[in-house]
Amino acid sequence: MSDDEQGHKADSTAASAMTELASVPRRAFLQTGAALAGAALVAAPAREAEAQPAARDPARMPLMTAEAEAAPPADVQVIGGDERCGSDFMVDVIKSLDFEYICANPGSSFRGLHESIINYGGNRAPELITCCHEESSVAMAHGYFKAAGKPLAVMAHGTVGLQHAAMAIYNAWCDRVPVYLILGNHSDAALRRAAEWYHGVQDAAHMVRDYTKWDDTPWSLTHFAESAVRGYRVAMTPPMAPVVLVLDGHLQEEPISKSSGLSVPRLTIPSAPQGDSGAVDETARLLVEAEQPVIVTDRLARTPAGMQLLIELAESLQASVIDQGSRMNFPSRHPLNQSERAGTAIAEADVILALEVTDFWATVNALRDQLHRSVRRIAKPSAKLISITAGDLYIRANYQDFRRMQEVDLAIAADGEATLPSLIEAVKRHTTRARSRDFAARGKRLAERRRISAENARSAAAYAWDASPVSTARLCAEIWNQIRDEDWSLVSSYYSDGGGWPRRLWDFDRPYRWLGHAGGGGIGYGAPAAVGAALANRGHGRFSVAIQTDGDLMYAPGVLWTAAHHQIPLLSVMNNNRAYHMEVMHVQRMCNARNRGIERARIGSELTDPNIDYAKLAQSMGIFAEGPITDPADLGPALRRAIAVVKRGEPALIDVVTQVR
Amino acid sequence: MPGALNRHKLILMLSLSLGIAARAWPQAAAQDVVVAGLTAAGCAACHGSDGRGTAAGPAITGATLSAAAFVAAVRSPRGAMPAFGPEAVSDETLGELHTELGRLSAPSFPAGRVDVGAALYESTGCYSCHSNQGQGGTQGPRIGPNPIPLTRFGWYLRHPSGQMPPYTAGVLPDQAVADIHAFLQARLPPADGISLLAP
């Protein structure tokens, strides 16, 4: 059921009458926006006033007058042959931005745009994706961007829809992912139907302004066109983040002349900011002179080129790379990948370069989460710390996603990926033959350590191999065995991350193999982000797989229906530990600290009694599903059957009862 | 950190403190030797002057480690313990300390019961970090099979380092500690040659 069922029941005839009375001058107003704040325009220079005669038209009175309200209902009308609607023009603009899809849970405040998309726009580019929750819409857009490299648009009510969407917007904000939000709202109180009072708001974007990069509420179609294109530019310029456009309902619905002469501004994405040349050169010098340089990376690779650039930098130096995993930054099996021994590598380092690392402090320090919290520095006191991040270019108050401040020796406020070419060039310039020989020797040592780490991981995975519930290592090994010959993409593995096993056992060798985490730690990201990413991967013929946690799926399982309805191929394998297990651990920690015993620690965090049957849940929404699987020997055959379904272009789900992590 | 310690110094210090002739060393009680040795070597600050442990370090009495492993644990310790090099305490002195500590009794625990330990392992939340069979995970290391010796295991539960929450005797008695240890000890080693784990 949509949020505005009540609104559909109540239709205002008075509004129709008033629209009729004032339609012509208002159309001119909506097209040009010239009469915004009419009183101010009285004082405008004469030439400007002459250019916009509608501003002085006495008919341009406020729409809601006593006379208008008393007028009898006008005849029911449709738009004329020489007319179209404001939302048709909006679709022209939206199409110019090359959106493939637009996600929405339907709402009356954007019914005009909704209709224009499916009829005027032909429901193609963008195609409307039906969602069962606004949080799903935004999280789908979040996952989609990280697989497609471009935003997906979302429509929602400016009030109740945005309130549903807020958590997912916060995740995208923290993950520096652009989401293009279009909110419907009825600004003019005189035109609101009954439900539109619940759905009306003075400043719709206010609620999410702390965690969006920019917003605007256009008052005319010209204003809309500029803000729509500007918003796209803002969202896509690093540091990327969600933007919000609030579209007045009447602006969408009011007819305009087909010959209105409205134009669509040309989109030009600004180039990403590169680091200062002197600072980049100093960074290169420090890295070349270092004996144990370590490159730490988190949200670096924002395009497919990012991984290749990082490989080139690391190989130029034969330096350790620690991939913290918010993006697919570095191949998991590259000899220089030291992520499995990150703590040791940091402790040994004499120079640490942080590329788009969100939490540099926690990279070089450790916080002990006990009754009396304590901190110790992991990195050597003498280690030189360098950061390159677009995070230094934009920071907001209130929400604390910027993390604890880490003192550094050199801070470069710039986009990491955009800075890599000049940094690589500078490193090569500083590297002598003697240093090259040193680098080669270092590279051999690191390769051997990487080999040992991989061997240790395989050895560790063998423990509890036949246990029930299924170990997360077995789960991930079985999945890998089935998908390794596909052009696969792990679209989500949140929140338990499959026990970390995919990155330890799988060969992540391409930019789309892994898409990173939720960003803000908000549970409920995994399932919709996986569907959104699978939607993007569908166009590339990639095989999408998600390791789906149970608690996450239960936030808004309706996204499974969206996957089935739109035939989005996705293999979801449940990491079903029947609990919000991280919270079990937190409560357990409190029980221990207070010395009260932990027998009750699972109260409030377990998802048992009754156990949830995720296979039936998925089947009820038209998805092929099997489970619950408790015997690991049953897992391989079930995966094979599900993969056959996914390769036919449909989603499938396998419910596996697993160990906790 | 005290200066280099060798057996001669150890005996001398012990003799002075006990008022006995140095040549009477062989007859000195193991306990007294340990007190002097651990104090002089700087071990007592964490492990207690009697070697029976404090909140800062576990008991080191009893023959729980080989002499070589004992020396290695001092030279290249794991966890929070600082390393003690030969300049601080010689191999010879460590050997003597090892011998004397071995003459003292290790902290005693009741016999563990595997089946009870299995239930306790789950109900007391060990599985949360160390996984259901003790094989470890992202939140905690592998602790079975072949867990650390029971005395050290018990001490660590009471005085953990890092992120592990503490288990006092009030919520986890020694019997329960022994039961959980027995459960971990009984875990099976992994099978060899699992094809899905081939490189």
State pLDDT tens for residues B164-189: 999 999 999 999 999 999 999 999 99
How many other C-beta atoms are found inside a 10 Å radius of the C-beta of residue A387?
23
Would you give the end-to-end CA distance of chain B in angstroms? 47
Dihedral in degrees, nearest 10, Cα atoms A592, A598, A604, A606: 120
Asked whether B88 and B4 are in contact (CB, 8 A), the reply is yes
Residue A325 buriedness (CB in 10 A; 0-12 / 13-18 / 19+): buried
Output the six-digit token pair for B109.
Answer: 């625990």
Distance CA B101, CA B63 (A): 7
Q: CB A471 to CB B133 under 8 A?
A: yes
| Predicted TM-score of the model (pTM) | 0.88
ipTM of the complex, rounded to two decimals: 0.83
Task: Collapse the DSSP code of A113 into the 3-class scheme (helix H, G, I; strand E, B; otherwise coil) and give the result.
Answer: helix
Does residue B33 have a pLDDT over 90? no
Distance CA A379, CA A363 (A): 8
Q: Name residue A22's amino acid.
A: A
B127: chain A residues, CB-CB within 8 Å? 659-660
Q: Which long-range contacts (CB under 8 A, 24 or more apart) does B47-50 make?
A: B50/B104
- The backbone region for A198, taken as left when phi is positive above 0, alpha when psi lies in -120 to 50, beta otherwise, is alpha
B19 band by pLDDT with thresholds 50, 70 and 90: very low
Closest partner CB to A463 (pick from B129, B138, B190): B190
**C-alpha dihedral sign at A445, A450, A453, A454:** negative
Q: Taking CA atoms, what residue in A is nearest to B192?
A: A462
Predicted pLDDT at B52: 86
Domains of chain A: 5-257 (3.40.50.970), 278-458 (3.40.50.1220), 462-656 (3.40.50.970)
Contacts (Cβ under 8 Å, ≥6 apart) of B42: B1, B2, B84, B88, B89
Cis amide leading into B145 (omega within 30): yes
Task: Give the residue, A452 or B100, on which the prediction is more confident.
Answer: A452
Distance CA A201, CA A207 (A): 10
Distance CA A470, CA A633 (A): 9
Q: CB A588 to CB B133 under 8 A?
A: no
**Tokens 């460590």 -> residue:** B94
State pLDDT tens for residues B57-88: 888 888 878 899 899 989 988 777 888 999 88
What SS3 string covers A539-550? CCCCEEEEEEEH
Distance CA A33, CA A260 (A): 13
Asked whether A406 and A360 are in contact (CB, 8 A), the reply is yes
A606: chain B residues, CB-CB within 8 Å? none
Q: Taking CA atoms, what residue in A is nearest to B187?
A: A464
Distance CA A297, CA A327 (A): 9
Distance CA B147, CA B153 (A): 8
Q: Taking CA atoms, what residue in A is nearest to B193?
A: A462
Task: Give the residue, A454 or B41, on which the prediction is more confident.
Answer: A454
Output the six-digit token pair for A191.
Answer: 């035109």
Which has the closest alpha carbon to A495: A461, A470, A529? A529
Closest partner CB to B128 (pick from A369, A480, A584): A584
Q: CB B138 to CB A478 under 8 A?
A: no
Distance CA A3, CA A40 (A): 38
Q: CB B128 to CB A588 under 8 A?
A: yes
Asked if the C-beta of B78 comes within 8 angstroms of chain A's C-beta atoms, the answer is no
Predicted pLDDT at A431: 98
Question: What's the mean pLDDT when you consider all of chain B?
Answer: 84
CA distance B84 to chain A (A): 20
Q: Angle formed by the axes of helices A134-148 and A160-174, to 10°? A: 30
Distance CA A530, CA A76 (A): 45
Q: CB A659 to CB B131 under 8 A?
A: yes
Closest partner CB to B132 (pick from A370, A460, A464): A464
Distance CA A476, CA A500 (A): 9
Cis amide leading into A469 (omega within 30): yes
Domains of chain B: 7-103 (1.10.760.10), 114-185 (1.10.760.10)
Predicted pLDDT at A75: 74
What are the DSSP calls for chain B, one per residue?
------HHHHHHHHHHHHT--GGGGGGS-HHHHHHHHHHHHT-HHHH-TTSS-BTTB----SS-S-HHHHHHHHHS--TTPPP--TTTS-HHHHHHHHHHHHHSPPPP-PPP-HHHHHHHHHHTTHHHHH-TTS---SSS----SSPSPHHHHHHHHHS--TTPPP--TTTS-HHHHHHHHHHHHTPPPPPS--GGG--
Asked whether B145 and B187 are in contact (CB, 8 A), the reply is yes
Asked if the C-beta of A497 comes within 8 angstroms of chain B's C-beta atoms, the answer is yes
Task: Give the residue, B108 or A220, on which the prediction is more confident.
Answer: A220
The parts of chain A modelled with pLDDT lower than 70 are: 1-64, 76, 494-499
Task: Indicate the helix (H) or strand (E) that contains A498.
Answer: none
Which has the closest alpha carbon to A214: A190, A240, A251, A184? A240
Does residue B122 have a pLDDT over 80? yes
Asked if the C-beta of A599 comes within 8 angstroms of chain B's C-beta atoms, the answer is yes
Distance CA A608, CA A454 (A): 36
Which has the closest alpha carbon to B175: B106, B111, B108? B111
Q: CB A595 to CB B132 under 8 A?
A: no
Q: CB B131 to CB A471 under 8 A?
A: yes
Distance CA A644, CA A654 (A): 13
CA distance B89 to chain A (A): 26
Predicted pLDDT at A12: 39
